[in-house]
């Protein structure tokens, strides 16, 4: 049973019993609402789904690395999630700065290669993965988009390299055939979908329209929101899964307008700016309807050209705990031009966890790192930051890394077993305060 209280600015504990080695939907109950309801290209064939494990599946001894931990990134420099690139690259760079200032991993500085992930309209991610593999990386941080990660996961894990995404939220990755080499610091969409669906119903929207981009991220999250709204007593009167590459969204918005829902849920990436413009054009403005967004389109830059007040009071959800002010100052010291902070904490945590796992394994190979990631994330002496944690390791202690994004605590399939979703709200300037949510809701899946 999950109990949800709504205290502004405070995390809400959600405790869910889970069967070991099983990946089952989680039932959520809140007050009188039943929640049976977190973001997301390349072109290689998508791998088949199969049970996953936190330990590499190949038998025999784990091969020894070359002694230098090498990390690659496949993160958006171009494409529909390019606005998320700066915070993620900055999170990675901050973590590496701290790791190397503390003496590096296994006594050597960590090496890094950055590449672009592009989006699903290009083959950039596949080319980037190939390049990184030729550079003999031990772990790859990325991609941001779930669909992009899905297109390259088989190539990466087949090479014995860890793939660690700070932003993938598609539920598919819980059961995908990853050879025990895929991990993520972002929670699965089922949690964000439940929180958002609950929020929509709690705000008095008994009729709801959903406009979702048609890919594994958009449709999966829309499914969860729709189920939560329905189970909470609301009705999804129209749902449109649209082509994000479309030049025009007038017909899609017209379908929503025809059903006149009280609440409108927008699930997408940067193309949401065009959808918003069409909503305004057809009279579905925020003074008449309640809009809701998600991590893929919550942005302080994507709507900069919209007239003042276009997004006033619009609410949206973002996975992750509140980023401490001190952490944001550290990020800005690395990149003073940073305006977005989404998934910076998750990226920082990903790199720190990889480095700690290599230290514990005394081996920088991908398989060795993967075999220790669960261990360093829980069930030891709590610590924050690489230096504090590695000092404990040198003192012979077991560690439990407490991330900036949350506790992390990986389950047996590489998903965070504890996660927080923040609810944010736009002001009249079409921006939201990324440092302060209206409320935080925490999901704790207890084994």
What is the percent of the chain with per-residue pLDDT over 70, rounded to a whole number?
85
Lowest average pLDDT, out of 58-62, 213-217, 328-332, 382-386, goes to 58-62
Question: Using 50, 70 and 90 to split pLDDT, how confident is the model at 435?
Answer: confident
DSSP assignment of 335-372: -TT----TTHHHHHHHHHHHHHHHHHHT--SHHHHHHH
pLDDT at 89: 98
pLDDT at 441: 87
Cβ(118)–Cβ(76) below 8 Å: yes
Q: How far apart are CA 327 and CA 329, in angstroms?
A: 5
The whole-number average pLDDT for the span 105-119 is 98
pLDDT at 325: 86
pLDDT at 232: 97
The structure tokens 């040198």 sit at 394
Question: Using 50, 70 and 90 to split pLDDT, how confident is the model at 418?
Answer: confident
Q: What is the largest CA-CA distance in the chain?
A: 66
And the tokens for 244? 């994000």
Q: What is each CA distance from 159 to 57, 185, 366, in whole angstroms?
A: 13, 22, 9
The whole-number average pLDDT for the span 184-194 is 91
User: In the 8-state DSSP scheme, what is residue 49?
Assistant: B
Cβ-count burial 164-202 (b if 16+ within 10 Å, e if not): bbbbbbbbbbbebbbbbbbbbbbbbbbbbbbbbbbbbbb
The whole-number average pLDDT for the span 344-353 is 98
pLDDT at 44: 32
pLDDT at 322: 78
237-283: per-residue pLDDT in tens?
A: 999 999 999 999 999 999 999 999 999 999 999 999 999 999 999 99
What DSSP element (H or E) covers 316? strand 315-319
Question: Using 50, 70 and 90 to split pLDDT, how confident is the model at 56?
Answer: low
Q: Above 90 in pLDDT, residue 321?
A: no
Question: Using 50, 70 and 90 to split pLDDT, how confident is the model at 444?
Answer: low
Mean pLDDT over the full length of the chain: 87
pLDDT at 210: 98
And the tokens for 180? 């025990």
Question: Using 50, 70 and 90 to split pLDDT, how confident is the model at 55?
Answer: low
Angle subtended at Cα 398 by Cα 397 and Cα 403, rounded to the nearest 5 degrees = 120
Q: Across-strand partners of 141? A: 73, 164
* 250-259 helix and 272-281 helix, angle to the nearest 10 degrees: 50
Give me the phi and psi of 226, to 5 degrees please.
Answer: -60, -45
The 3-state DSSP class for residue 325 equals helix
Question: Using 50, 70 and 90 to split pLDDT, how confident is the model at 61?
Answer: low
Q: Above 50 in pLDDT, residue 11?
A: no
The whole-number average pLDDT for the span 281-306 is 96
Please state whether beta strands 315-319 and 416-425 pair in parallel, antiparallel, or not at all (unpaired).
Answer: antiparallel
Q: How far apart are CA 229 and CA 193, in angstroms?
A: 10
């Amino acid at each position: 049973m999950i109990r949800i209280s709504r205290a502004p600015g405070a995390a809400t504990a959600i405790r869910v019993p889970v069967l070991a080695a099983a990946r089952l939907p989680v039932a959520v109950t809140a007050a009188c609402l039943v929640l049976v309801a977190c973001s997301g290209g390349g072109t290689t064939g998508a791998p088949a789904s199969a049970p996953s494990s936190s330990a590499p599946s190949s038998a025999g001894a784990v091969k020894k690395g070359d002694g230098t931990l090498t990390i690659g990134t496949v993160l958006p420099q171009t494409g529909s999630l390019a606005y998320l690139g700066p915070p993620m690259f900055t999170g990675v760079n901050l973590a590496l700065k701290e790791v190397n200032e503390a003496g590096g991993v296994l006594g050597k500085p960590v090496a890094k290669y950055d590449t672009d992930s592009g989006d699903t309209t290009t083959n950039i991610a596949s080319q980037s993965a190939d390049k990184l593999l030729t550079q003999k990386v031990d772990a790859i941080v990325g991609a941001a988009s779930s669909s992009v990660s899905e297109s390259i996961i088989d190539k990466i894990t087949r090479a014995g390299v860890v793939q660690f995404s700070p932003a993938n939220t598609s539920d598919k990755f819980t059961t995908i055939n990853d050879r025990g080499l895929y991990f993520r610091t972002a929670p699965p969409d089922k949690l964000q979908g439940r929180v958002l669906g609950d929020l929509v119903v709690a705000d008095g929207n008994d009729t709801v329209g959903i406009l979702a981009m048609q890919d594994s991220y958009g449709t999966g999250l829309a499914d969860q929101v729709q189920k939560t709204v329905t189970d909470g007593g609301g009705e999804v009167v129209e749902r449109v899964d649209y082509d994000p590459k479309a030049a025009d969204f007038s017909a899609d918005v017209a379908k929503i307008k025809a059903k006149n829902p009280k609440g409108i849920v927008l699930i997408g990436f940067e193309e949401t700016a065009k959808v918003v413009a069409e909503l305004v054009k057809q009279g579905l403005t925020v003074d008449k309807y309640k809009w809701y967004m998600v991590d893929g389109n919550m942005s302080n830059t994507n709507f900069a050209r919209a007239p003042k007040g276009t997004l006033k009071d619009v609410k949206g959800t973002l996975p992750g705990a509140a980023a401490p002010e001190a952490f944001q100052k550290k990020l800005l010291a690395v990149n003073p031009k940073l305006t977005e902070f989404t998934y910076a904490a998750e990226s920082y945590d990903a790199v720190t966890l990889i480095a700690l796992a290599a230290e514990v394994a005394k081996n920088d190979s991908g398989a060795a790192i993967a075999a220790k990631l669960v261990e360093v994330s829980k069930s030891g002496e709590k610590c924050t930051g690489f230096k504090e944690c590695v000092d404990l390791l040198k003192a012979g202690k077991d560690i439990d890394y407490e991330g900036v994004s949350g506790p992390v605590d990986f389950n047996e399939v590489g998903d965070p077993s504890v996660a927080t979703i923040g609810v944010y709200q736009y002001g009249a300037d079409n921006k939201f305060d990324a440092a302060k949510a209206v409320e935080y809701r925490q999901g704790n899946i207890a084994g």
